Amino acid sequence: MGLFQHLFGIGQDFAGWAPLGLSAFLFYITLVVFIHEMGHFLMARAFGAQVDVFSVGFGPEIFGFNDKRGTRWKLSWIPVGGYVKFAGDADAASTPDRAAVQATEAERTRMMVFRPVHQRALVAAAGPLANFALAILLFWGLFLYAGKSELAPVIGHVGKGSAAEAAGIRPGDRVTSIDGTAITSFDQLPEIIRSSSGETLTVGLMRGGKGLALQVAPRKERIRNEVGEMMEVPVIGVQPSADAAIITTRYNVFQAFGAACGRTWDIVRLSLTGIGQLITGRASLDQLHGPVGIAQITRKVALWGILPFISLIAVLSVSIGLINLFPIPLLDGGHLLYYACEAVLGRPLGERVQDVGFRFGLVLVLGLMLLATWNDIARLNLF
């Protein structure tokens, strides 16, 4: 009876989640994957290569059509990615078809595998770059429409027994810098502190018109983040002042574009810092999110409104673009690694080496996806 009630409760939660959560997730993943694959597609077409398949999603086809140049455009059932398959490819991972060596000279001119190495590298890089371009475009529009609102970095509350109290931070202090990084918004504090992995920070303050520099050692605590998940992260135990000014900056077209590029770069920089901490063991692997966790987040952010949802799409687009640049065979970065080796050696890597690399990449990617999904299930009540 207990198991039945639990499963019934999950069914009820799913019924409540699906109308907005499922539609928000499918919209996000379809848009971001489509833009990514369109980057590959357009660059390949620019070089005159034949594209056999353009798929959003994996697995069996839901529906599709053929264009006048012989490309099959299709939507597939598993919405966690997509692919562009070129003439001369053996599969969706763009591994070369060994039978392509028997192609005629005319057929080879249409196959990506026989294009110059710099063209193949540009095609591989075009997908992640398209994701960065999408993020910049979305942030650009947001900054033009709404500007940028920031809460002044004034301390309103210092937790009793917290790292901030131990360091001597007081209510009313204005944070001016952390480890040399200028602070203009309170929102910068948690981002920088979380990326510190608990290492001691030099915090610059203004107190009564005088500048101070205090050494603060963040402590790891379990807190609930913006979307309701419990996470163990470094904190110093401060909250913003209720009286702190909200500063709204308005941008012209060029300023908004610069701010959009800056925001995109900040996401890349913080992501790389976090990944470095995961690799070195300074951060826990339970921070990884999989499809279930991302679906949960998209629903919660969609409830906040269209502007936060657009901002989330931009952030996730940067993340997908960055992940695909990692030098892991099977990802775009793995292809770029192979092409770099080919450029140095003057010939492609051997088929055996490439096959082993692709299999290793497949195992690694699937393993990370399983780990992230397990984290989602352990961290959330599934829905």
| Residues marked as catalytic | 37
Residue-wise DSSP of 42-84: HHHHHTTPPEEEEEEEEEEEEEEEE-TTS-EEEEEEEEEEEEE
Query: Which residue, among 214, 178, 206, has the nearest Cα to 194 in the 3D structure?
Result: 178
Rounded to whole angstroms, how far apart are CA atoms 110 and 89?
Answer: 11
Query: Which residue, among 175, 182, 142, has the nearest Cα to 158 in the 3D structure?
Result: 175
The first and second tokens of residue 108, run together, are 């080879």
According to DSSP, residue 22 is labeled I
Contact 221, 235 (CB under 8 A): yes
Instruction: Give the 3-state secondary structure of residue 85.
Output: strand
The first and second tokens of residue 302, run together, are 């969609």
Instruction: Give the 3-state secondary structure of residue 270.
Output: helix
* 214 DSSP β-pair partners: 203
Query: Which residue, among 213, 220, 212, 229, has the nearest Cα to 288 in the 3D structure?
Result: 229
Rounded to whole angstroms, how far apart are CA atoms 119 and 300?
Answer: 41
Question: Torsion-angle region of residue 48: left (phi > 0), alpha (psi -120 to 50) or beta?
Answer: left
**Count of helix runs (H) and strand runs (E) in the chain:** 11, 12
Query: Which residue, among 312, 337, 317, 341, has the nearest Cα to 326 in the 3D structure?
Result: 337
Question: Torsion-angle region of residue 379: left (phi > 0), alpha (psi -120 to 50) or beta?
Answer: alpha
Q: What is the sign of the dihedral through the CA atoms of 308, 310, 315 and 320?
A: positive
The first and second tokens of residue 79, run together, are 């919405």
Instruction: Give the 3-state secondary structure of residue 158.
Output: strand
